[in-house]
Structure 1
Amino acid sequence: MLVCGTHRGLYRLDGPHDDPTRTAECGRVHEVAPSGDARLAATADGLFRSPDGEDWRPLDGPDDPVSVLAGPETVLVGTGDADVLRARPATDGWRFDPVGDLGAHPHGDRWRDRAPSGAPSVRTLAVHPDDGVLAGLEPGGVYAFAGDFWRRYGEGVHDDVHDLRVLGDGGVVAATGNGLYRTDGGDRWYRLDTDFRDFWANYFRESVVHDGRLYASANRWGPEAPAGVTLSAAAGDPAFDAVADPLPAADPAFAISWAVVDGALVGGTMRVDEDGFAPETSAPLIRREGDEWTLGAELPAGVTSLST
């Protein structure tokens, strides 16, 4: 089963080529994450939980969840007001406790000055084996919490952080609104997509590692017609000597979410047009078959998150 978070609620599919069934009307879905056999979803209508990917129930938690990360022993939620919360089941529901006080960081005033709504959001969360909880802010960059306080996690990454991916060798990849970045050790970020010959393809939403390769997709801005491209290279290649492939979609789109389904890489896309993003326009799944991308099922809106 594949759970799809979209700009128009939650859907489930038996496989990437099957018809989608709507399972929850909850507005835009920011992220879906597995939690044991259950799943959690951060949505415009709050935090939801499902034991089976079909029956979704709201949780009495933060009003503005924008990211969720579930591990074997903990659940973390990032909010639209620069908070990171640790969620635990309690006798009367769920308990949400702050992970430090990210919003009180000395850089907070700068984040708020640059945020269109006046509040930066924790768009992505990750856990690093050595550096603790990582939070990617939009705007704000990347910060780490190892138990005492939040600290800036390296210099040089673009402020608009959409996704953080911890690699097997301890490196971290950040997909941002202007470039794909990597850090080894959390001191300095360097840009991975600088050797990619298409200057305008620089807006990334998410990356994934599959079969030893790092995959990401970029939207192409600029004077030409909009279009999406996928990039892939060996995950351990510091130069990111990438192979670039166009998306197979007939209409312009780029992949903004990823999952591995039955051993195959699947991407969820969002349409783009001359005016920018078209998040509420129907968009397809794409699937990697051998060395080629093929089209999968069509979803009623942009596919913001995928979970198996």
Structure 2
Amino acid sequence: MPVVFGTEDGVYRASTIPFDDATRVLAVDRVMRVQRGLGAEDVFACSKTGLYRSTDGGRTWSDLSVPREEVYSVCVSPDGERLYAGTHPAHLYVSEDEGESWRELEGFQELPSRKEWFTPRHRNEAHVRSLETHPDAPDRVVAGVEVGGVHISDDRGETWTERRDGIHDDVHHVFVRDPAEYIASCGNGLYRTRDAGRRWTRLDEDIAHRYFREAIDHDGRLYAAAARGSPGTWRGESGADAGLFVFTDDDETVITVSYPGEPREIVLAWTVANGHVVAGTNDGRVLREVDDEWETSGRIPAGIRSLCVV
């Protein structure tokens, strides 16, 4: 089962997990996200230099020419008719011809808080960091903005409603468990909603670490990792000073687990391969959970920001 890695140095591909080596298959600037499409070997790569697509499991790639160069997120509607791309600055585009042409979803710019979406460390701008859909709500699109909060459309991206009250607005990823339940990983906290963002609760109140990048659900357990501070603090003897956490009992119980590379390395990306949870760290280490223990399953020669099974 091939795995594709989005890294600080392009896209890498390994034919299986564990692996002895991996091949760089797309030489581009920093890759923000790799994500499966609907086809068996369909995969996308969002990067600082564009949105790329592979239809052969990550071996070869083509540029989809999104109107703005820096693409941070992508998703496909459950019926396959719409391809969405989120960019920096924070704009949202849709293609209804598999990336041949693009149209801006102008309703996204009309959200009341739009003028507040900026942060000095990103050129006083924001970006659409996360885009998700769910097959049981095919017209709904969930967008996470860094920095700007969570927003929802129920008409395939044409009009939008804010769901940012009660959540930290530095949103890195929104994991959609079902049409109404989401887990948001933020620069200050891990949040859950069970009513499509109308109310948010924190899951990390008993955790000293606050900087979360992404979460995943597998076999009734929620996996997340966090550092004590943002990437600018990941220096010195303790590095990221990170922890890895598993939530059980309907997210009520949190367990801190040990893993190779801790605490210097932080897990930034997750997937599931052959029934095992697989993780990637900021130092290029690939981890796999086997019988509740974590082992190193390979190395990538660049920090891993995202990964997915093809």
TM-score over 0.5 for the pair: yes
C-alpha deviation, 1:255, in angstroms? 0.8
The equivalent of 1:58 in structure 2 is 63
* Cα deviations by residue, 1:23-47 (Å, 9 ceiling, x for unpaired): 0101111111111121111111111
Identity of aligned residues (%): 34
* Cα deviations by residue, 1:148-193 (Å, 9 ceiling, x for unpaired): 5211114111111000011147311100111100111121211101
Please, which of 163, 171, 181 is the counterpart of residue 153 of structure 1? 163
The equivalent of 2:149 in structure 1 is 141
The equivalent of 2:203 in structure 1 is 192
What code does the residue aligned with 2:173 have? D
In the TM superposition, what are the counterparts of 1:177-188 in structure 2 within 5 Å?
Answer: 177-185=187-195, 186-188=197-199
* Bigger Cα displacement from structure 2, 37-46 vs 245-254: 245-254
The TM-score with structure 2 as length reference comes to: 0.87
Please, which of 101, 121, 124 is the counterpart of residue 118 of structure 1? 124
Distance 2:86 2:249 in 1: 27
Change (3 A) 1:250 1:160: closer
In the TM superposition, what are the counterparts of 1:269-280 in structure 2 within 5 Å?
Answer: 269-271=281-283
What code does the residue aligned with 2:105 have? V
Change (3 A) 1:101 1:58: same
The equivalent of 2:265 in structure 1 is 253
* Cα deviations by residue, 1:176-233 (Å, 9 ceiling, x for unpaired): 111100111121211101023xx2x111111001111110111134898342211111
Contact 1:233 1:243 in 2 (8 A): yes
- SS at 2:118 equivalent: helix
- SS at 1:109 equivalent: helix
In the TM superposition, what are the counterparts of 1:277-288 in structure 2 within 5 Å?
Answer: 283-288=284-289
C-alpha deviation, 1:251, in angstroms? 7.1
Aligned pairs, how many? 290
- SS at 1:216 equivalent: strand
The equivalent of 2:101 in structure 1 is 95
C-alpha deviation, 1:143, in angstroms? 0.8
Change (3 A) 1:13 1:183: same
What code does the residue aligned with 1:232 have? V
Change (3 A) 1:105 1:115: farther
* Cα deviations by residue, 1:229-268 (Å, 9 ceiling, x for unpaired): 111113733x3x1111133126711111111111111001
Unaligned ranges ≥5, structure 1: 272-282
Contact 1:83 1:101 in 2 (8 A): no
The TM-score with structure 1 as length reference comes to: 0.87
Runs (4+) off by over 6 Å: none
Unaligned ranges ≥5, structure 2: none
- SS at 2:72 equivalent: strand
The equivalent of 1:211 in structure 2 is 219
- SS at 1:242 equivalent: strand
The equivalent of 1:49 in structure 2 is 53
Contact 1:30 1:43 in 2 (8 A): yes
The equivalent of 1:232 in structure 2 is 246
* Bigger Cα displacement from structure 2, 213-222 vs 58-67: 213-222
Distance 1:150 1:170 in 2: 16
The equivalent of 1:25 in structure 2 is 27
Contact 1:87 1:97 in 2 (8 A): yes
- SS at 1:253 equivalent: coil
* Cα deviations by residue, 1:116-135 (Å, 9 ceiling, x for unpaired): 41221000011254582111
In the TM superposition, what are the counterparts of 1:66-105 in structure 2 within 5 Å?
Answer: 66-72=72-78, 73=80, 74-89=82-97, 94-105=100-111
Contact 1:228 1:246 in 2 (8 A): no
Distance 2:75 2:126 in 1: 18
Q: Is residue 2:51 matched to residue 1:40?
A: no
What code does the residue aligned with 2:255 have? V
